[in-house]
Chain A
Amino acid sequence: MIASSKTLRAMGALGAVVLVAAGLTACSSSSPSSSAKGVYTFWDPYPQFDQTSAWTKLVDSCGTAAGVTVKRTGYDTSDLTNKALLAGQQKRSPDILLVDNPVISTLVDAGLLTSTKATGIDTSTIDANLMGAGQVKGTSYGIPIGANTLALYYNKAVLKAAGVDIAAVTNWTSLTAALEKVVAAGKKGITFAGIGTEEGSFQFLPWYWGSGANLNKLDSPQAVSALALWTNWVKKGLAPNSVINNTQTTTWQEFMTGQYAFGENGTWQLAAIKASGMDYGILSIPAMAGGAATAPTGGEFLTVPVQSDTTRYATSAKIIKCLASTDNLVKTDTTLSYIAPTAAAQAKQVAANPALAPWIEAVHQAKGRTSDDLGTKYPLISQQMWGAVQKALSGAGLPQAALTTAQTAAVAAIAANNG
């Protein structure tokens, strides 16, 4: 029996060696199969669309038209930045990357994107204000697939019951007066998303810019007045306390209860509100002194990441041109409930759905968050801004003090990032 046990052990040892060897080969042989000649990789932040969706089919058909197969992968938006950076580090960037607009400056800073000039993608038909978010120091790095922005949805029934004339709501004073009337009538005033993430900054920006404040100076008197407006609403009960933790989805759920007069939300909710049957209207977010405030643009950009094999750019550009053709833009932006980035496509959208007209106007007035040459300074400023919003709304600090701290921290963060 001793002999057989010896054999058993020997076989065990051999097994271990084979396993290790197999493991090592597995590590070394995982070269990207995607870099095969006829296969083009495409990453987007739309994990909600599966392989049978119209979006995937559109991407596939544009690939076929360019004579290649497109392999599309949908990632969660918050995940895509780091996925793109890691892929760049491993020299395995996708051929086409559809990415949220404030991320462009980060990826350009990392040297991962090609300019539209280098790849020959035409940007001349795109609205100039929408291109802003895709430009760094005057060079364009992609084109928007569509755009969205923020406005105030209002509930006509609630306003009527409170005796508010929406035409009289033109600036912050008249808006606050309207909210007071609504609350006095036993309903709720306004809901928005003040959560401590980029979403909170996105929702605060129309008020911030509407006060005349500039992102380079978070503690200006104008900025303080914008934050004081939000803070007073929460303090006086004109906005619910839950806004501090609200995402844009939860604030929408609050508005859809029918109890609220106003809800700050985006273009993308248009389909949902129509389906709900609520009698609603849309109002541009008013600036402090009246008129429409500048709102931030949302939406993704089609970009071509840097490849070692530069001959691939031509085909990538062909696929992008196909996706950005007027008919396809209208199709995609209708699915996403976005506004198309070109005048021709916008005209088609409004012809099919006249309710889009105020949103197209709002998008024309909007501005990219990384515009004004802020670039990668924006994320650092934004992080401090949403922190200040949270502090002021929750009563942890007064608006002035919170914004002064935020400005100091933002300046330090920018210096540390450059230094």
Chain B
Amino acid sequence: MSTSTLARSWRSLRGAGGGAGKPVPPGRRTGGARERSAQWVAWAFVAPLVIYLVVFYAYPLYRNVELSLKHYTVRSFVDGNAPFIWFDNYLAVFRDPAFVSTLVHTALFTGVSIAFQFTIGMALAVFFYQSFRLSGTLRALMLVPWLLPLIVSASTWSWMLNSDSGIVNSVMQAFGIGQINWLTSPSWSLVSVIIANIWIGIPFNLVILYSGLQAIPVDLYEAAALDGANAWQKFWRITFPLLRPVSAITVLLGLVYTLKVFDIIWIMSKGGPGDASTTLAIWSYRLGFGSTLPQFSPAAAVGNLLIILAVGFGLLYVYTQRKQQLS
């Protein structure tokens, strides 16, 4: 395509869009060739995005679905002629004795994390909103968990929670409380990784809710104060309802983020002891990369289940946002 044709086609595009001349009803234009070239240019503009989406989203997703519907061994992974077994991998995953416990762990990990992250984040946001002396500095310090690389924070947590030499247990022993095997007891390891994840997630909630608070008009609080509302009533009657749109977004984004958390758990407990802190993300990794014989197909099946769950929450997010825009 030469420069002049391009320029011409752009002129025609501008013409089609109205511009200076009279509006021309579509379909009644004279130059069909001009219109086609305009379309070409339009595609050229979209092409980088489309290629990006295909290369980085569509194709990997397609491969993942294909992996999960075929029976891949290491040999067929190299040869590329694995037989189709449709949903057998998924059935095997559902029938696996570890499936139910893994699903429960995922739900607990996500649910409890979000509940605490949101509550604490909200409390801190309201607290810092009263801008007192040093509140800016303190608020900045609260962001540290967010800024640290996950490998650093997760390793630090696992050292602090070490059964025999961790600081948490030594403090507890100083107060006469016995040793808790935070990461090595089947009843505590999930709790421990949830605690670490809550700590990491608080800044995200704090920042979004704090910015939401700033959008609430101050005169509402002044009016409430004149009517004799106390601090709790101000929060419950003004702050909370007016923050609802922001809260919904925070919780839904948190759901999608928390569902796929892998690194914190892997660094702290490897999903153990046994399966005690194994979530869907950990299970998928264990199947695919945990041993010297990768089982790609079941791993992809578990990964796809995770994607379906995340997409479910994502659609909920889109739906909520649309409803908010309409209202």
Contacts and interface: CB of A to CB of B under 8 A. Distances in A.
B278 to A, nearest CB: 9
A20 B274 contact: no
Interface string A383-413: 1000100110111110000100100010001
B152 to A, nearest CB: 17
A242 interface: yes
Interface in B1-46: 1, 3, 6-7, 9-11, 14, 20, 41, 44-45
Contacts of B92: 416
A13 B292 contact: no
Contacts of A19: 48
B163 A81 contact: no
A10 B6 contact: yes
B302 interface: no
Contacts of A245: 158, 162-163, 183-184, 269-270, 272-273
Interface string A354-384: 0000000000000000000000101110110
Contacts of B286: 383
B138 interface: no
B211 to A, nearest CB: 35
Nearest to B183: A245
Interface stretch (B73-81, B117-125, B224-232, B243-251): B73-81
B94 to A, nearest CB: 14
B77 A196 contact: no
Contact of A379 (B45, B274, B292): B292
Contacts of A10: 3, 6-7, 10
A14 interface: yes
Given A9-B10, A109-B73, A394-B273, A102 B292 contact: yes
A397 B272 CA distance: 13
B275 A387 contact: yes
Contact of B292 (A198, A396, A413): A198
B218 interface: no
A244 interface: yes
Interface string B290-314: 1111110000000000000000000
A258 B16 CA distance: 83
A378 B270 CA distance: 21
B203 interface: no
Nearest to A24: B51
Contacts of A20: 44, 47-48, 51
Contact of B273 (A12, A378, A393): A393
B74 A106 contact: yes
11 contacts: A16-B47, A16-B48, A20-B48, A85-B74, A85-B77, A102-B292, A106-B292, A245-B269, A394-B185, A394-B276, A413-B295
Top 3 closest A-B pairs, CB basis?
A394-B273, A379-B293, A244-B184
